[in-house]
Amino acid sequence: MRTLQQTAALVLFFAACQMPPPASHAPHASPFGVTADGHAVQVVELSVGRGGRARLSEYGASLTELWMPDRDGNLADVVLGFDDLAGYESADNPYFGCTTGRVCNRVREARFLLNGRQYRVTQNHGRHHLHGGDHGLTRVVWSLSQWGRNDDGSAYAEFRYLSADGDEGYPGNLELSVTYTLTTDHVLRIDYRAQTDQPTPVNLTHHSYFNLGGGGTVLDHSLQIEADRYTPTDAELIPTGELSAVEGTALDFRTATRIDARLEEMNQTAALGYDHNFVIRRGGGLARMATLQHAPSGRRLDLWSTDLGLQVYSGNYLDDLPGKRGAIYPRNGGLCLEDQHFPDSVNQPAFPSVILQSGVTYAKTTEYRFSTE
């Protein structure tokens, strides 16, 4: 027979199994600073135990930290960024961890034709338009509308923003929400939603620079991409409209290949490394796009998305950039995996459309699934 003490202990044990995680794991928001034009900015921390932890900023609805364990349980921050708001506001910020749009990537000559009318958007990349313009969705303050914990133990934070009619030259009032969810099995999910009151291009992505080693370069990482084709570009990295086979090129990542295996060849191109859009082989719905692995730590990242293309950027213009906790980010210090529709789709009739109609909801899901080997 159980003693009274044993019975009490069992009652406490089963009660604990029904209790929420300790308060220390509860999502919480705190001040991150004040922008140069006087807007207060918050960060929210999501923690689910077992090592997974993320910090998110209202400035650009950005991921500023993402801590994941290696095969031995040691934690490292696997995304590049800055310690403070001033870093994200600075001209040196290469889109660290932000939500990018209204139209990510490039728009030829910063213009497009829609319903018989030509629209001119901000020229911020030579004569072209890049990642939404001077401010876009990146250099603005979103609203942290809600955060908390789901019944399954995952933690979430939702950000909202209204991009007004005429913002960076785009038509229509665009209402956006971006929800980050961190799960107990080390998945960071991003759910995008947008609605407009008149037709407008929308092509959103996430722009973290990943380094699964937590430092150094990504040259010792291996990458596999579910793509047989890519979109060739001209000397200014604008798509030509063609779809070409990756076979026989330095863009063939159909099997896992180290980043540095053919990088020297890519360094001689106009991109000065990898900065290319891949046409994902898919059957519809949420599908795996790519796998990034770091053998020394055992960390693995599988990217799943409902989108059609993947821009891979090898941090070609990182040049000893001061980052978090005294780190200096070298060239190739991080790898961007930007799920998206194809670049310059607004000017390429053969590419899938990025035009969002009024009365229709733009919806997209991205999952960064972390594991160890």
Whether 14 is covered by a domain: the verdict is no
168 is catalytic: no
- 20 three-state secondary structure: coil
Whether 3 is covered by a domain: the verdict is no
Whether 8 is covered by a domain: the verdict is no
Q: Is the pLDDT of residue 341 over 90?
A: yes
Q: Is the pLDDT of residue 23 over 60?
A: no
Whether 146 is covered by a domain: the verdict is yes
Residues sharing a CB contact under 8 Å with residue 71, sequence separation 6 or more, in sequence order? 297, 298, 299, 372, 373
Whether 169 is covered by a domain: the verdict is yes
128 is catalytic: no
Range in 8-22, 43-57, 234-248 the model is least confident about:
8-22
Triad 196, 190, 358: Cα angle to 5°: 10
Active-site residue (options: 45, 89, 168, 338)? 338
CB 313 within 8 A of CB 335: yes
Which CATH number characterizes residue 212's domain?
Answer: 2.70.98.10
Whether 193 is covered by a domain: the verdict is yes
Q: Give 78-130 pLDDT, tens digit per residue.
A: 999 999 999 999 999 999 999 999 999 999 999 999 999 999 999 999 999 99
Mean pLDDT of the 19-46 span = 82
Q: What's the token pair of residue 183?
A: 């799960």
Active-site residue (options: 25, 128, 186, 207)? 207
Q: Is 271 left (phi over 0), alpha (psi -120 to 50) or beta?
A: alpha
* Model-wide pTM > 0.85: yes
Q: Which domain holds residue 193?
A: 23-372
Q: Give 171-221 pLDDT, tens digit per residue.
A: 999 999 999 999 999 999 999 999 999 999 999 999 999 999 999 999 999
Q: How many domains is the chain built from?
A: 1
Whether 56 is covered by a domain: the verdict is yes
Whether 254 is covered by a domain: the verdict is yes
Over the chain, what is the mean pLDDT? 93
